[in-house]
Amino acid sequence: TQLLEQSPQFLSIQEGENLTVYCNSSSVFSSLQWYRQEPGEGPVLLVTVVTGGEVKKLKRLTFQFGDARKDSSLHITAAQPGDTGLYLCAGANLRGATNKLIFGTGTLLAVQP
């Protein structure tokens, strides 16, 4: 069974602080996606990383895919209250020609003004 463990599970920080969320697995994924979900809404795609070692930046968010494609991290610089939400990593494995996603356990982030 493929599992994706995220840490930390909960994070409450002050506006302006930096943070890193980790997503780890013992399985190799063909790609990894990061989503943010707010209450009452569906997960919204932030980024897709495909290549081992890949780093992608989205304004204040930096995403990295591990060299072995088993883990990923999300770093937020100078967090803002608008960053508050549930962050989910999700791995895709092309075995069986399906793009089904295995979701991580989630990191609930609260940024206090």
Partner 1 sequence: DSGVTQTPKHLITATGQRVTLRCSPRSGDLSVYWYQQSLDQGLQFLIQYYNGEERAKGNILERFSAQQFPDLHSELNLSSLELGDSALYFCASSGQGSNQPQHFGDGTRLSIL
Tokens encoding 16: 């302006």
Closer Cβ to partner 1, 19 or 102, answer by number = 102
Q: How many amino acids of this chain bind partner 1 (CB under 8 A)?
A: 27
Residue 69's nearest CA partner among 34, 21, 29 is 29
Q: Collect all residues with Cβ–Cβ distance below 8 Å to 106 and sequence separation of at least 6.
A: 6, 9, 86, 87, 88
Cα separation, 21 vs 55, in Å, equals: 15
Q: Is residue 108 involved in binding partner 1 (CB under 8 A)?
A: no
Question: What's phi and psi for 97, nearest 5 deg?
Answer: 55, 35
User: At its nearest, how many Å lie between partner 1 and the CB of residue 73?
Assistant: 19
Q: Is residue 78 involved in binding partner 1 (CB under 8 A)?
A: no
User: At its nearest, how many Å lie between partner 1 and the CB of residue 104?
Assistant: 8
DSSP state of 4: -
Between 2 and 41, how does the x/- string for binding to partner 1 read (CB under 8 A)?
A: ----------------------------xx-x-x----xx
Residues binding partner 1 (CB under 8 A): 30-31, 33, 35, 40-45, 48, 50, 88, 90, 92, 94, 96-106
